[in-house]
Amino acid sequence: MSIVEIKSSATTLVDVEDNSTESLSDKLNVLLANYSIFHQNVRGYHWNLRGANFFELHEKFEKLYERLYTKMDEIAERILTIGYQADHNFSTYISESLIDEKINVSDGIVASKDILSSLKVLITLQKDILYYADELGDEGTYHLMSDAIKEQEKLVWMYSAYLGK
């Protein structure tokens, strides 16, 4: 098969069926909504933190929200790569997110517990997308999810250890 034949046989920007990529795009947009709410929550924890562990957690929260921002960008770009538009408005994020918006959290333990819970939500959503991408033969999305899961499982362990769980 020549390169021209390969390119003409592709059904979307990635070589999976169009109706499958629409469903995948929907799942990725829900994931993006959850990342966006989580990102904003962690920024708030970073900004408003008070107490004995301020210096330690202030830095950790900053690194986390910076990493979440990078992941959000990767997810949005993946949605575009498969031929769809990434959602970008907070009204959609709030309505689609399983992670709730947090307000006025300044206690590091409360914030850390919420981070742990939010990471578990992300991992669950990403595993669903990982399995779906595998069924579709979409290696790009599969690896994006696999890398995120690996990184976040380590964070779950670290935040659990911090909280004495």
Quick: pLDDT tens for 36-84: 999 999 999 999 999 999 999 999 999 999 999 999 999 999 999 999 9
Is the separation of the CB atoms in 11 and 22 below 8 Å?
Answer: no
Q: Which amino acid is at 165?
A: K
Dist CA 68 CA 125 (whole Å):
15
More confident residue, 20 or 74: 74
On the question of pLDDT at 25 being above 70, the answer is yes
Quick: pLDDT tens for 147-160: 999 999 999 999 99
According to CATH, the superfamily of the domain at 17-162 is: Ferritin, core subunit, four-helix bundle (1.20.1260.10)
Domain residue spans of the chain = 17-162
Kindly state the percentage of the chain with pLDDT values over 70: 88
